[in-house]
Amino acid sequence: MLNPWRLSLLSRLDTLGTVRAVAKAANLSASSVSQQLAVLEAETRTQLLERTGRRVRLTPAGLMLARRARAILDHMETVEAELRSLGEAPAGLVRVGAFQSAIHTIAVPAVTRLARSHPQLDIELLELEPHASLPALRVGDVDVIITTTDFVEQPLGPDVDLVPLAADPIVLVIPPGHPAVGRGRADLAAYANEPWAFDVPGSYMANLATRLCREAGFEPRVVCRFSNYMMTLQHVEAGLAIALLPGLAVDKRYRVATRELATPVTRSITAAIRRGSAPRAAVDLVLEAIRSHPELPL
Length of the chain (residues):
298
Closest CA to 250 of 130, 97, 101, 129: 101
CATH number (domain holding residue 51): 1.10.10.10
**pTM, 2 dp:** 0.66
**144, 94 in Cβ contact below 8 A?**
yes
Any domain includes 123: yes
What's the total number of domains in the chain? 3
Q: Which domain holds residue 18?
A: 4-80
Where are the strands (E) in the chain, listed by range? Answer: 49-52, 55-58, 92-98, 121-127, 144-148, 160-174, 195-198, 221-225, 243-246, 257-260, 266-274
Average pLDDT of the chain, as a whole number: 86
What's the confidence (pLDDT) of residue 194? Answer: 96
Residues 183-211 pLDDT 10s: 889 999 999 999 999 999 988 889 999 99
**198, 206 in Cβ contact below 8 A?**
yes
Any domain includes 131: yes
Q: Which of 4-18, 85-99, 280-294 shows the lowest mean pLDDT across its residues?
A: 85-99
Looking at the structure, do residues 103 and 193 belong to the same domain, yes or no? no
Q: Which of 14-23, 167-176, 249-258 shows the lowest mean pLDDT across its residues?
A: 14-23
Looking at the structure, do residues 188 and 264 belong to the same domain, yes or no? yes
Q: How confident is the model over 106-122, as a mean pLDDT? A: 89
What's the confidence (pLDDT) of residue 171? Answer: 96
Looking at the structure, do residues 262 and 120 belong to the same domain, yes or no? no
